[in-house]
Amino acid sequence: MPTALKNHRPVRTRSPFFINCVPTTGETIESATLTVKIKNGSRSSSGTTLKTYTLSKSNAVDGIIVFDLHAPKVLQDLPVPVAFTSAMPELAKHLQETVKPDFILSPDKGAIDRASEVAKAIDCEFSYLEKTRIDAHTIIHKAKNLDVDGKIVAIVDDMIATGGTICRAAEALRSQGAIEVHAACSHGLFTGGAIARLIRYVDGVHATGSLANPRDVISGGPALARGVNELFTTLKWD
């Protein structure tokens, strides 16, 4: 158990809650695979798809902790407090210690906040790719202010599913002189042979253990501990 959680006394009147919210392939953003400890002590199946809004309205939980949720705005206006937590600080530390990147790249505009946070923590350059759809089957990735010749680059995203976007980004980086390309994310779904595909394009794949995956090299525990502490403070459970 993370040190940050050991200092909290058990709450007798209400059971603490824990939700690991990780979108899985085929689900909508509004739905996610949830592992939930309900107030009465029962536990939902980790494979059950639930609507977060329904969960909160049913009075099943007092609050929700979400870990690097792809689209936080979908949880606005819930009747219970929500703590948004992120493993980007731990991801940045891991990359700095093992990869030593010169450049952080966001694969699209949606990951800019997370990738720029990592770049700031490492104190290195940052940019992102813009997607331009040519037709139904063709997407071109263009970089803004990209100068990666002779540099080690880490592509940072919240999750990697099939790895297609990462592979195309890696191709663009290689063509502009990057000497190493790494992929890093919070949620490693790695579906449809993604790992086999990725290792043909990148020098390393790095993910947290938010769900079981073969590239679990970054602990998500500290991030979840921060979320628990924030929610305990909000609910005055200290």
Per-residue confidence at 166, pLDDT binned at 50, 70, 90?
very high
Q: 52: helix, coil or strand?
A: helix
Whether residues 12 and 26 fall in one domain: yes
Is 131 part of the annotated catalytic residue set?
Answer: yes
Whether residues 46 and 98 fall in one domain: no
- pTM here is 0.76
Domain count of the chain? Answer: 2
Helices assigned H by DSSP within the chain: 3-6, 52-57, 88-98, 112-122, 164-175, 194-198, 221-234
Q: Please, what's the largest Cα pairwise distance for the chain?
A: 60
Average pLDDT of the chain is 77
Whether residues 51 and 99 fall in one domain: no
Q: What is the CATH number of the domain that holds 96?
A: 3.40.50.2020
Active-site pick, 131, 142, 144, 236: 131
Torsion of CA 115, 116, 117, 122, to 10 degrees: 90
Amino acid occupying residue 63? G
At residue 138, the pLDDT reads 66
A 10 A CB-CB count for 99 gives 18
Whether residues 77 and 112 fall in one domain: no
Whether residues 124 and 28 fall in one domain: no
Whether residues 62 and 143 fall in one domain: no
Of the listed ranges 48-52, 135-139, 188-192, 206-210, the one predicted with least confidence: 48-52
CB 184 within 8 A of CB 95: yes
Residue 190 belongs to what domain range? 88-218
Per-residue confidence at 117, pLDDT binned at 50, 70, 90?
very high
Per-residue confidence at 226, pLDDT binned at 50, 70, 90?
very high
